Amino acid sequence: MYQNILTEDYPLTEAQISFYKKNAFIKLKYVLPPEILEYYGSLISDKVKELKRVNVALEDRNTYGKAFLQLANLWRVDEEIKQFVFSRKLAKIASDLMETAGVRMYHDQALFKEAGGGITPWHADQYYWPLSTDKTITAWIPLQAVPLNMGPLEFSAGSHKLISGRELSISDESEIRIKDKLRVNDFEYVVEPYDIGEISFHSGWIFHRAGANITETIRKVMTVIYMDKEMTLKEPENKEQILDLETWCPGAKAGEIIDSPLNPVLFN
């Protein structure tokens, strides 16, 4: 269903590509119509409800646990969700923004911030990824409009240039230390609501966070993480990268293109 919309082009302007190159993120309006988000959002929500294994009360979790419910690679457990995640439209936007010849899957993630859910601390995603270059990008796809009080994604524009802080995982420490570094270096802080159909794309090394969800409605977001189709594996540098290698790139070898069954080319 909706394959024509999921495969059609979303032409980017030179100004949009330049904006991404400078700031390492961009928000794009009217990427997907409301009826698609409603249809696939319902499927994703049902699958998250079916598969979630969190049985600890929200108030008893640590900061990471309070940030969101997190389920990955839903494309492997539901054929219709796979159609959405494998969208040529989204993959081509990712490739065009990174100016690559194509992209392949790293993995997908549903990130549902529960009503009353806490902040997502400042961090850079690529801390977790054993990938050899910065040609990585995440599509952050709200399945409903996200007002400021629901915890939209926040960016520190251009902060992919900052090396300090890249060694930190998502934690209370990363929230404090990275916030201080960003303030000292005077990067622009961008926090805006998301309209229905608006999708952001951000680089693996840009620092970003999300506020708490102080509404009574769960914030439902689907993400797809893309990498250059020629991406090679690097030797893992921390325990999280070792786990990512085993989980998302099974059988991949350091120095070789990551071409495992879990990393198909999505746009070429």
HEC profile of 13-73: CHHHHHHHHHHCEEEECCCCCHHHHHHHHHHHHHHHHHHCCCCCCHHHCCHHHHHCEEEEC
pLDDT higher at 127 or 67: 127
User: For residue 183, what pLDDT is reported?
Assistant: 86
Helix (H, G, I), strand (E, B) or coil at 92: helix
Judged against a pLDDT cut of 60, whether residue 227 lies above it is answered with yes
How is the chain split among helix, strand and coil, in percent rounded to 5?
35, 25, 40
Lowest mean per-residue pLDDT among 58-67, 83-92, 126-135, 143-152: 58-67
The count of C-alpha atoms lying within 13 angstroms of the C-alpha of 44, restricted to the half-sphere facing its C-beta, is 32
How far apart, in whole angstroms, are the C-alpha atoms of residue 264 and residue 104?
5
CB neighbours of 57 closer than 8 A, spacing ≥ 6? none
pLDDT band, very low/low/confident/very high, at 55 (cuts 50, 70, 90): low
Calculate mean pLDDT across residues 220-234: 98
How far apart, in whole angstroms, are the C-alpha atoms of residue 233 and residue 242?
11
pLDDT band, very low/low/confident/very high, at 58 (cuts 50, 70, 90): low
Calculate mean pLDDT across residues 167-194: 92
CB neighbours of 50 closer than 8 A, spacing ≥ 6? none
Calculate mean pLDDT across residues 114-126: 94
By DSSP bridging, strand 136-142 and strand 219-228 are: antiparallel
- What percent of the chain is modeled with pLDDT above 90? 89
Both tokens assigned to 10 = 């979303």
From the CB of residue 113, how many other CB atoms can be counted at a distance below 10 Å?
A: 27
CATH topology of domain 3-267: Jelly Rolls (2.60.120)
CB 104 within 8 A of CB 258: yes
**pLDDT by residue (tens digit) across 18-49?**
999 999 999 999 999 999 999 999 999 999 99
User: For residue 258, what pLDDT is reported?
Assistant: 98
User: For residue 2, what pLDDT is reported?
Assistant: 83
Q: Mark out the alpha helices in 151-226 (DSSP H runs).
A: 172-185
Judged against a pLDDT cut of 80, whether residue 53 lies above it is answered with no
CA 245, distance to chain mean position in Å, is 18
User: For residue 184, what pLDDT is reported?
Assistant: 78
How far apart, in whole angstroms, are the C-alpha atoms of residue 25 and residue 160?
10
From the CB of residue 225, how many other CB atoms can be counted at a distance below 10 Å?
A: 21
Q: Mark out the alpha helices in the chain (DSSP H runs).
A: 3-7, 14-23, 34-51, 63-67, 79-85, 88-98, 172-185, 239-248
CB neighbours of 254 closer than 8 A, spacing ≥ 6? 232, 233, 234, 235
Prediction pTM value:
0.93
Both tokens assigned to 122 = 């400042």
Nearest by Cα to 170 from 238, 252, 246: 238
Judged against a pLDDT cut of 90, whether residue 57 lies above it is answered with no
**pLDDT by residue (tens digit) across 69-96?**
889 999 999 999 999 999 999 999 999 9
Judged against a pLDDT cut of 60, whether residue 60 lies above it is answered with no
Judged against a pLDDT cut of 60, whether residue 64 lies above it is answered with no
CB 9 within 8 A of CB 92: yes
